[in-house]
Amino acid sequence: MIFPMKKLVIFDLDGTLLNTIADLGNATNYALTQCGYPTHPISAYPKFVGSGITRLLERVLPESARTTENVDLLRVHFKEYYGEHLADETVPYPGIPELLKQLTSRGVAVAVASNKYQAAVETIIARYFPDIPWAAIEGQKEGIPVKPDPSIVFEILGKYPAPKADVLYVGDSGIDMETARRACIESAGVSWGFRPVTELREYFADHIVESTGQLLRLAL
């Protein structure tokens, strides 16, 4: 019997499975406008995202306005808008739906580990990947630190126990590579996401892939 090289592949969501940047930027700009702050071009958002909603909203505010109260108010408007518009412009990256189907059909479990808040992660995964039998879908939850803290990986391994040597973590940012390193699992950085390949190298990605085909070969 031939066994797959990996038993579990854990994916980041934004910038890895889905290109969500326009919808994230539009929701944030809506919140900024509602609160009377200047907005940012969508092209600026790749450097703002990746660390969860709180850090996103802190980063987009003028430095003098970065208070807890202002972030909390922005969060209300952000969630109001994003909940209605999270699929306006979001699309899977080329080859991702096929990759997920190929992995699961070969017996490799797949999971999501995102710094996006849990409700949004569940909604967006159900919308774009409804037929994938996910082993775990984990977003940001109250009381659990965001990546690069590895707690989210351990949450997934609690639901789908697999030896760390049989796990691959896939993401598009230094935060993802650091999360994998702290969890002591192998990492693969994707070149198609929000962050440059230089950042992936800086954070010691074990592999850098330029296509879903390369990623499939790593897992099987």
Angstrom CA distances, 65 to 29, 52, 71, 195, stand at 15, 19, 9, 26
Instruction: Provide the 10 A C-beta neighbour count for residue 70.
Output: 16
User: For 9-18, what is the mean pLDDT?
Assistant: 98
Average pLDDT over residues 136-140: 97
The CATH-assigned architecture of domain 21-85 is Orthogonal Bundle (1.10)
- Regarding predicted confidence, which is higher, 3 or 83? 83
Rounded mean pLDDT of 196-209? 97
Q: Does the pLDDT at position 103 exceed 90?
A: yes
What is residue 113's three-state secondary structure?
strand
pLDDT band of 74, cuts 50, 70, 90: very high
Say yes or no to pLDDT of 3 above 60: no
Q: Note whether 8-19+92-219 and 21-85 share their fold.
A: no
pLDDT band at 5, cuts 50/70/90? confident
Per-residue pLDDT, 11: 98
pLDDT tens digits along 24-33 = 999 999 999 9
Above 90 in pLDDT, residue 178? yes
- Above pLDDT 70, what percent of the chain? 98
Inform me whether the pLDDT recorded for 63 exceeds 50.
yes
Q: Average pLDDT, whole number, for the chain?
A: 96
Dihedral sign, Cα of residue 60, residue 23, residue 212, residue 7? positive
Prediction pTM value: 0.95
Q: Distance (Å, rounded) from C-alpha 42 to C-alpha 143?
A: 31
Task: Tell me the domain boundaries of the chain.
Answer: 8-19+92-219, 21-85
Per-residue pLDDT, 1: 43
Q: What is the CATH number of domain 8-19+92-219?
A: 3.40.50.1000
